[in-house]
Structures are given as structure tokens and as C-alpha cells.
């Protein structure tokens, strides 16, 4: 299930800090830019309300419990998760923020071993000089050369979104060199086309 939200339109904004959890609250307070801090808090609040809606529970019953493959549980980063009434909430979650929006994805009562990653990208964000050399494989560069010039910016962003979604799913993040990860045809990886995105954005989902 997907949900797309504008970051400044979040339910019950006055309760966001109380629901954030200590690790994320400490991280929020370290942001030097107030706008970045607000986006971070809003994104975490949106995910918590999304998780609560999937389980049909009060968001206050969910306690954030993020797990990093490198650092372990109870982090301010990593795979999102929640505790519900003392036990792990039966949810698989992923979230991605970009340019004032957050895209949320969730699976209720996932099978053991299932992994999820979602990524939202602004097309304008991947247009810098040298992007292809640091982010794309030779096969992906060849693919871009076959795309009409007026479509290349969108396709470049789609490739990057797929990489981010895949690396979230595997838990590797950018510890893995994205220029060595070919995402043209990976099982369980697809562009998000069944969710209406704002103009100028693309998204990808990895599930497996």
C-alpha cells in the first residue's frame, strides 16, 4: 500500500514531537537548518500516522523502533519500525522524502524475510554534471543514449530512484557503489506508476 503526503499537511501536528521517540528527537535537534528539521519531523510523523492507519490503531500506541543493519535496533536511522503494546508491530515499512513530499509504503503482516524499499525523487535533483559517471553502470549509460533527449532527465531520475529503493530494501544504502548496481531488470524492482505523483517526480519500489 502507498500513500503520498505533502509534508506540511500532517495530521495532528501538535503531537508530532511527543510521538517522535528519543533517538529521532535528538537527531531532529541537531539539524542546523530549521526547514530541514521541520521536514524530518513531519516525515516521521507522517510515517507513524500511516502505520497507525494500516493497523487501525491510535498513533500514540506506536513506539518508533528503527533498526540499522550496521548499528542495530533503537536508532534514529535505518529500517523504520514500531513497537505496539510491547511487541513489534506486524508491519513492513519504507518512506522517502523529496522536495516537500513524502512517499510511504507498507505491508501488513509480511511473510518472514520479506524486505521493502521505496524512493521518491525530484527529476531536477539528478541533473548535475558528472551524475552518470558516479551513479550509472555502462549498460545504464547505453540505455540512456537510446532514449529521446527530451525524456532523458526523467529516465535518469527513474534509474536513480530504482537504485535508492533497491539499496533501502537490501539495507546496503550508499555503502554500495551505485555505479556497480544495474537496475534495468532486477526482480521485484519497478517504477511506481499506480500512485499519482506530483509533476516533476518519479518513484520506485523494491520488494522481495
Start-end of H helices in the chain: 16-19, 22-29, 34-55, 131-135, 138-145, 152-170
Taking 50 as the pLDDT cut, the residues of the chain under it are 13-14
Query: Residue 138's pLDDT is what?
Result: 96
Neighbouring residues of 83: CB distance < 8 A, sequence distance ≥ 6: 62, 63, 65, 89
Query: Residue 76's pLDDT is what?
Result: 74
Does the pTM surpass 0.85? The reply is yes
> pLDDT tens-digit profile of 22-67?
888 888 888 888 888 888 888 999 999 999 999 999 999 999 998 8
Mutual angle of helices 22-29 and 34-55, in 10-degree steps? 160
Pairing, β 82-84 against β 62-64? antiparallel
C-alpha cell, 21: 521517540
Query: Residue 101's pLDDT is what?
Result: 94
Query: Residue 129's pLDDT is what?
Result: 80
- Quote the CA–CA distance of 125 and 99 in Å, as a whole number: 9
Amino acid at each position: 500500500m502507498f500513500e503520498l503526503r505533502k509534508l506540511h499537511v500532517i495530521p495532528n501536528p501538535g503531537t508530532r514531537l511527543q510521538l517522535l521517540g528519543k533517538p529521532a528527537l535528538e537527531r531532529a535537534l541537531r539539524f542546523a537548518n530549521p526547514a530541514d528539521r521541520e521536514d524530518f519531523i513531519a516525515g516521521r510523523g507522517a510515517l507513524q500516522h500511516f502505520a497507525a492507519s494500516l493497523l487501525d490503531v491510535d498513533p500514540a500506541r506506536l513506539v518508533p523502533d528503527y533498526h540499522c543493519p550496521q548499528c542495530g535496533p533503537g536508532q534514529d536511522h535505518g529500517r523504520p519500525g514500531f513497537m505496539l503494546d510491547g511487541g513489534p508491530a506486524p508491519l513492513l515499512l519504507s518512506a522517502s522524502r523529496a522536495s516537500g513530499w513524502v512517499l510511504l509504503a507498507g505491508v501488513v503482516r509480511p511473510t518472514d524475510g520479506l524486505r521493502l524499499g521505496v524512493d521518491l525523487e525530484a527529476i531536477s535533483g539528478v541533473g548535475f554534471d558528472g551524475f552518470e559517471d558516479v551513479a550509472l553502470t555502462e549498460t545504464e549509460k547505453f540505455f540512456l543514449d537510446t532514449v529521446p533527449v527530451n525524456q532523458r532527465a526523467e529516465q535518469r531520475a527513474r534509474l536513480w530512484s530504482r537504485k535508492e529503493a533497491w539499496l533501502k530494501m537490501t539495507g546496503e544504502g550508499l555503502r554500495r557503489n551505485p555505479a556497480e548496481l544495474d537496475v534495468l531488470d532486477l526482480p521485484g524492482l519497478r517504477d511506481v506508476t499506480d500512485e499519482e505523483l506530483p509533476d516533476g517526480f518519479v518513484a520506485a519500489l523494491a520488494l522481495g
